Amino acid sequence: MSKILVIGSMNMDLVVETERYPEEGETIIGGKFQQIPGGKGANQALAAAKLGDDVEFIGACGDDSFAPKLKSSLKNGGAKIDHIFEIEGVSTGVAVITVDKNGNNRIIVSPGANYELLPEKIEKIRDKIIEAEIILLQLEIPLNTIERIVEIASRNKTKIILDPAPAQKLSDSILEKIDYLLPNEGELDLLLKDVKAKSRSEKIKILLKKGIENIIVTEGEKGINYYGQEKEIHLDTLKVKAVDTTAAGDVFAGAFAASLIAENELKKALEFAVQAAAYSVTKIGAQSSIPDKKELTEFLAERSK
């Protein structure tokens, strides 16, 4: 069975480069257009596979022309794809992405088949959840599916990494079972939307008390901050010229999982994830920006000169 099991979304990203975003009711002429495999789940699986070993992705696609391309991207990157559910009469997930000249992006996701990955399908791959060392999850599939996966994994001592994006409020019954929570600043705020906590420190304490073992807050150019029951770690990001930030968080999550399996050392895993995410923002697109081990090594060697 796979050491890392990623369960989540797969999308075809329709990417348009633009000098600026249009105002309401305005039409502007964009630049280059590309179709690039994406989806938070598939991105993370590909990053974990290219930067680690023994990774399987489980998701759902439609019966359209996008599905084979998404499967090929994952398989070519080394991820196992034997348990992707194909849903008849439903479109594969699509993300419409605009990227401005500074590398910032705006994204609209049409979930399509991703929302057909329902709890009854999870029962069919239950053994894979039980036997994996790490489960990597995001929130582009139904929340009741996430709840079921977390319940099975927690009961069987499978470590759970959750990237709580797209941002939404989660129940304590989910949060208390998470081993590693990877929110950005906005997602951290939304997780505690109904709680009267003003400072970052207060929010972190509340989440740790809920039972989360490790919290890693990603903050873009400001780096990352790790919070555990007994220690905190800050790591600066690598200074690079950002071209497109689309999948940086996904690359971070996949690389973190891969290093955690390989090294089983928290700080090394965090450093590795920061390095991989920095590489990704220097390239256009989601899966097209994910490095393999050789590319990342060359990138870091060039920076050290």
Judge whether residue 229 has pLDDT over 90. no
- Token pair in block for residue 108: 């609209």
For residue 237, give the amino acid letter.
T
| Beta-carbon contacts of residue 48 (< 8 Å; ≥ 6 apart) | 4, 6, 55, 79, 136, 254, 255, 257, 258
Local structure of 204: helix, strand or coil: helix
- Token pair in block for residue 3: 């050491």
Domain ranges of the chain: 4-9+40-90+117-304
Residue recorded with tokens 């996904």: 250
Are 235 and 276 in contact, with CB atoms under 8 Å apart?
A: no
Average pLDDT over residues 233-242: 91
Q: Is 10 annotated as a binding residue?
A: no
Q: Is 31 annotated as a binding residue?
A: no
pLDDT tens digits, 109-134? 899 999 999 999 999 999 999 999 99
**Counting beta carbons within 10 angstroms of the beta carbon of residue 182, is it exposed (0 to 12), middle (13 to 18) or buried (19 or more)?**
buried
Categorize the per-residue pLDDT at 2 as very low, low, confident or very high, splitting at 50, 70 and 90. Answer: confident
**Pairing mode of beta strands 134-137, 180-181:** unpaired
pLDDT tens digits, 189-224? 888 877 777 788 888 999 999 999 999 999 888 899
**Counting beta carbons within 10 angstroms of the beta carbon of residue 251, is it exposed (0 to 12), middle (13 to 18) or buried (19 or more)?**
buried
Are 137 and 150 in contact, with CB atoms under 8 Å apart?
A: yes
Are 126 and 45 in contact, with CB atoms under 8 Å apart?
A: no
- More confident position, 203 or 12: 12
- How high is the mean pLDDT of the chain? 93
Judge whether residue 163 has pLDDT over 90. yes
Query: E strand or H helix at 112, and its extent?
Result: none
User: Which range has the worst mean pLDDT, 14-28, 167-181, 236-250, 253-267?
Assistant: 236-250
DSSP states of 221-279? GG-EEEEESS-EEEEPPP----S--TTHHHHHHHHHHHHHHHH--HHHHHHHHHHHHHH
Signed CA dihedral, 140, 144, 147, 148: sign only: negative
Q: Is 220 annotated as a binding residue?
A: yes
Judge whether residue 284 has pLDDT over 70. yes
Query: Is 250 marked active-site?
Result: yes
pLDDT tens digits, 65-115? 999 999 999 999 999 999 999 999 999 999 998 988 888 888 898 999 999
- Token pair in block for residue 162: 């959750």
Cα three-residue angle 104-178-265, rounded to 5 degrees: 80
Q: Is 2 annotated as a binding residue?
A: no
Q: Is 13 annotated as a binding residue?
A: yes
pLDDT tens digits, 242-269? 888 888 999 999 999 999 999 989 999 9
For residue 125, give the amino acid letter.
I
Judge whether residue 300 has pLDDT over 70. yes
Architecture of domain 4-9+40-90+117-304 in this structure = 3-Layer(aba) Sandwich (3.40)
Are 186 and 197 in contact, with CB atoms under 8 Å apart?
A: no
Categorize the per-residue pLDDT at 150 as very low, low, confident or very high, splitting at 50, 70 and 90. Answer: very high
Predicted pLDDT of residue 186: 87
Q: Which residues in 122-140 are b (16+ Cβ under 10 Å) and which e?
A: beebeebbeebbbbbbbbb
How far apart are alpha carbons 176 and 147 in whole angstroms? 11
Q: Is 11 annotated as a binding residue?
A: yes
Q: Is 218 annotated as a binding residue?
A: yes
Q: Of the listed 54, 163, 179, 250, which one is catalytic?
A: 250
**What predicted TM-score, i.e. pTM, was given to this entire model?**
0.92
Share of the chain above pLDDT 70, in %: 100
Q: Is 179 annotated as a binding residue?
A: no
Predicted pLDDT of residue 1: 61
How far apart are alpha carbons 294 and 192 in whole angstroms? 40
